[in-house]
Chains A and B, each alone.
Chain A
Amino acid sequence: MNINKDAFLIEDLSKAEKAPTRDGYGKGLVDLGEKDERVVVLCADLAESTRSHWFKEKFPDRYIEIGVAEQNLAAIASGLANYGKIPFISSYAVFSPGRNNEQIRTTISLSILPVKIAGAHAGVSVGPDGATHQALEDIALMRVQPNMTVVVPCDAIETRKATIAISDCCAGPAYLRFGREKSPIFTTEKTPFQIGKAIVLREGNDATIVGCGMLLYNALVAAEELSKEGIEVAVINSHTVKPLDVETILNSVKKTKAVVSVEEHQIAGGLGSAVAEALSQNFPAPQEFIGIRDRFGKSGETDELIEAFGMGSKSIKEAVKKVIKRKSK
């Protein structure tokens, strides 16, 4: 077993309980409401499915309903932050930061205001709603805006920590991404979390997996199975896509000399791109990409779609084997 003890993961992956990451957001908001008067939550007619209604029930005076108007959601939040509040804006990622991208760019990022953007229902794992509702480009949209912090937590516990951390840590804007479906909870309360600090979940010398979001579970399963075949893979939880923890990634890749990036997002512009940008400048190494290959999503069940788009543990194992073959002798 190469599990990093300092990551305090659950003992047995196959026994992981499940909860949607958005539940962690809802709980984190309530925690924040209690400890910081300045925190306000804005929502665009999606209170229940973004779990903002948990905050609304506890702090009705600090919940602001915007209606179906995501551009206005961003602009009003900018105004509130300009005045001195810490606004969290909740919607689906396709609408925020999708539809309101320019409002975020000008009134939030360029203005360096502490608006926290929560994009729910990201990825094909949204399921039956189909392509229109499955955000696959939101990491890219947010990553290219200066001043923006981008965080993609891997399970409900980490989402709760991330929600609190992005309120505390950054004076500027931040984007927090999460999913719709229940996904395995494999971190624990003890697992460390700090914005900008990647977590080595597992050590290994043959290849490095750098991932974010719920697919990290599949990555850990893949690593466990590969270990039985004698292949030892490091797994890094790069929950903060921006600023990327280049140091932690480099430390591992200098040993393994091969990388597989794993994310539920277009390959173009996401975490994998960020990793490739960092490696090509510091320590070029062969890389394989697990993610969406320039396609839109579609209707289906979550597991079915994760498989169909090549993001299951089997695909991750294949990518690891492929990248190992590509290492220069």
Chain B
Amino acid sequence: MSEYIHDKKVKELEVMANKIRQSVIEMLVEAGSGHTAGSLGMADIFTAFYFHILNHDPKNPDWPDRDRLILSNGHICPVRYAAMAHAGYFPVEELKTLRKFGSRLQGHPERSALPGVETTSGPLGSGLGQAAGIAYGARMDGKKFRVYCAMSDGEHETGNLWESAMFAGKNKLHNLTGIIDRNNIQINGFTEDVMPLEPLRAKYEAFNWHVIDVDGHNIEEFVDAIEETKAIFEKPTVIIAHTIPGKGIPEIEFDYDWHGKPPKPEEGEKFLRELRTLGGKIKSEHE
């Protein structure tokens, strides 16, 4: 149940976000494949969702009145799985099964494989439509829960995402909030080189959305933005979260080569040490 947030809570969430980043690194090393940059970049926001914003019950993932968090850019599922495990949806140990045969943690998330993931995704650009469909249906029935849709910036190159944006704008889906991981990278390079997205704010405004820009690593600012969305009744809101791909591991930050590869075991050890010591600022309890 979300509320305006206190300093102490922010500190707790920051510690949790660091733990989640460590889990992401461990999972990707163990899997030997997967997407590092986006998963690390969205760790603060997924922590804020699972440990502060969402009205949810990890022990009852199908509770009909839960807030819905839709992940459209399914390739960053490691961060979602890690946040879910730490929040109590399933044992943290299970994170090690990511991408393996027989696992519930499929390489791209599947609705029928793991309770709580809400939708199947990976193919980009289809999350917002599904989120808008849920929001529309919920409003028909007078339901009060909120629908959040996490998207990447790269997927804003797909046409169907904008078809969904047009639908949500037309229908004034104020119970729907989009969150964009605006990290400026995709596979072939920087978004503005591959296919420019700017002015992104103006595009959404033209589609009748309310737009808020935030620092995606400032949990307090993000939570405040989520509170603001609840006071906007005539439009859906999109939060453009400016993030750093690979956030937390300085040597990989901003590097699009890290979009879709995992750390090698030695790199993983090093990255974990950096996270545990906050880049050498503190002593790790593991040392």
Contacts and interface: CB of A to CB of B under 8 A. Distances in A.
A326 to B, nearest CB: 32
B194 A69 contact: no
Interface residues of A, number: 32
Given A127-B33, A130-B106, A300-B102, 19 more contacts: A45-B194, A46-B187, A47-B187, A48-B187, A65-B188, A65-B194, A65-B195, A67-B154, A71-B160, A72-B159, A94-B123, A129-B108, A129-B122, A130-B99, A130-B122, A132-B108, A299-B101, A299-B103, A300-B100
B110 interface: yes
Nearest to A65: B194
B124 A130 contact: no
20 contacts: A45-B154, A45-B194, A45-B195, A46-B187, A67-B154, A68-B125, A68-B154, A94-B123, A127-B33, A128-B31, A128-B33, A129-B99, A129-B122, A131-B106, A132-B107, A132-B123, A298-B106, A299-B100, A299-B105, A299-B107
Interface of B: 31-34, 74, 99-103, 105-108, 110, 120-125, 154-155, 157-160, 186-188, 194-195
B interface SS class:
loop
Contact of A133 (B101, B107, B155): B107
Contacts of B187: 45-49
Contacts of B105: 299
A128 B99 contact: yes
B195 A67 contact: yes
Given A99-B123, A300-B100, A129 B195 contact: no
Contacts of B102: 300
A95 B123 contact: yes
Given A46-B187, A130-B99, A69 B110 contact: no
A67 B106 contact: no
B158 A68 contact: yes
A2 to B, nearest CB: 36
Given A67-B195, A299-B103, A128 B154 contact: no
A127 B98 CA distance: 12
